[in-house]
A and B are shown apart, each in its own frame.
Chain A
Amino acid sequence: MSGLLAVWQSRDVFLWGAANTLLLVLGCLLLSIPLGILLAILLTESPGPLRRSLAELVDLLRCVPFLLLAYLVYYGLPELGLRLDPWWAGLASLTLYTTAYLAEIFRAAFLAVARDSIEAAHAFGLSRGLLYRRIILPQVAITAAPLIGNQVITTIRDSALLMIITVQELTFAANFVSANTFTPFAPFAAAVGLYLLMSFVIEAGVRRMERVRKVRFG
């Protein structure tokens, strides 16, 4: 009981932590979804040498543990003369990392779009911009929804690692309250509950997209 009380008394800390986690993840998605789409288009359409070097870059990023990337951004940017506080360094590294994974997801989804609908669009004289906007991207949004949902959950999980570079997100808050109130269990249970809630919301969103897919494509 005393644990629950401690959590309730320090609810401000939790709300601040949860808000920071959400803000980081939303900010990251707002940046990395357009960047991922752009990168995926470059990965499918750009000429040989550029395409190969971008593919190498994406593969390289996918081999690096997120914490190390966060350290490299946090300690590396000041060397380049750009001093960021932990929060912004965290957002930058989370965005860089997520963009690489999303680009792969979008690239695979582009390849899965039926060739005949693309050829029909060409036959109707659609410009490349319209082709992507009206034909390819709507289909991709529906077919890639489960993978994107998984990636969003992974991003939420990765954002917790930013506590190590002192970003005050949800796990940081739980650890802080746990260390200061001598009630170890309840703060972590509260944090895990909030993470679970976030992942339920995303899974519900994915299920909704799957219903849309069933209605449209059977």
Chain B
Amino acid sequence: MTWPAIRTILDGAVVTAMLAAVSILLSLPLGLLLALLRWRRVPVLAGALAAFVSLVRATPFITLVLFVFFILPSAGIQLDPVPAAILALTINTAAFSSEIWRAALQTFSRDQREAAAAFGLSERQIFTRIVFPQIWRANLGPLISEVTILLKCTPAVAVIGVVEITRAAGRVGAETYEPLPPFLVATLIYTALIATLVRGQRVVERRIARRYGVTR
């Protein structure tokens, strides 16, 4: 493989990293919001959200991508490939991470909530001061796993024409008639990205353990 070919794939890696970063920043808070709405048992909304989450969890990601890019336009929502990819990634990860947040909220210590209420903290203060700081630390592992899964989902957006790692590698392969080397390079890049995330998780977990004692 030539240097320009490797450059093409590395440019794709920048796009992949950007897609992943934006989708993470959108989907983790959205997942938390979904979980809070379901936790509060808002009558109709909670049921609708539960149905939405199980629908997304059963749908293959690539089906979701094709749906957002090819089917939403017929409902009047026309998106370019990159926004469509971000929307699909966000919907997917929000649904999956909302289950993590929801389990965390359900198992959160009742004593602490009642104690906080007895001290006169408002609902909002209980959440921002007591509940949230604990649940994000205790669920860092599952949340980072969700992020690595998101990263592993990104190759699927190549089908709608986003030139990220996989599509860039495909292009290089089509030009040189040798698809294997570029795909090997692409796999190496993904592996490096994901391994870095997992390593980062271990570091943060150790820091948290040192500062706050072992969580859970």
* Cβ-defined contact, A196 with B55, below 8 A: yes
Give the interface residue-count category, chain A.
35 or more
Residue B61 is within 8 A (CB to CB) of chain A in the complex: yes
> Which stretch (B42-50, B127-135, B185-193, B205-213) binds chain A?
B185-193
A133 CB to nearest B CB, Å: 32
**Known contacts being A75-B183, A175-B66, A184-B71, is A192 close to B55, with CB within 8 Å?**
yes
Asked if A132 is an interface residue, CB under 8 A from chain B, the answer is no
Nearest-Cβ distance from residue A5 to partner chain B, whole angstroms: 16
Residues of B close to A164: CB separation below 8 A? 62, 158-159
In whole Å, how far is B101's beta carbon from the nearest beta carbon of chain A? 17
How would residues 141 to 177 of chain A score, 1 for a CB under 8 Å from any chain B CB and 0 otherwise?
0000000000001001111110110000001001100
Knowing A72-B187, A75-B180 are in contact, say whether A192-B152 is a contact too (CB < 8 A): no
A-B contacts counted at CB < 8 A amount to 106
Q: Which residues of A175-218 are within 8 A (CB) of B?
A: 175, 178, 184-185, 188, 191-192, 195-196, 198-200
Q: Tell me the residues in window 46-72 of chain A with beta carbons closer than 8 Å to chain B beta carbons.
A: 60, 63-69, 71-72
Q: How many Å lie between the Cα of A76 and that of B63 in the bound state?
A: 26
A109 to chain B, nearest CB (A): 18
Whether a CB of chain A sits under 8 angstroms from the CB of B18 is no
Determine if A79 is an interface residue (Cβ-Cβ < 8 Å): yes
Beta-carbon contact of A72 and B152 below 8 Å: no
Q: Give chain B residues whose Cβ lies under 8 Å from the Cβ of A178.
A: 70-71
Residues of B within 8 A of A71 (CB): 166, 179, 183
Q: List 14 A-B contacts (CB under 8 A).
A: A63-B190, A64-B187, A65-B187, A66-B152, A68-B187, A72-B184, A76-B180, A159-B60, A160-B62, A161-B60, A164-B158, A178-B70, A191-B63, A192-B63
Interface residues of B (CB under 8 A from A): 54-55, 57-63, 66-67, 70-71, 73-75, 148, 151-156, 158-159, 166, 173, 179-180, 183-184, 186-187, 190-191, 194-195, 198
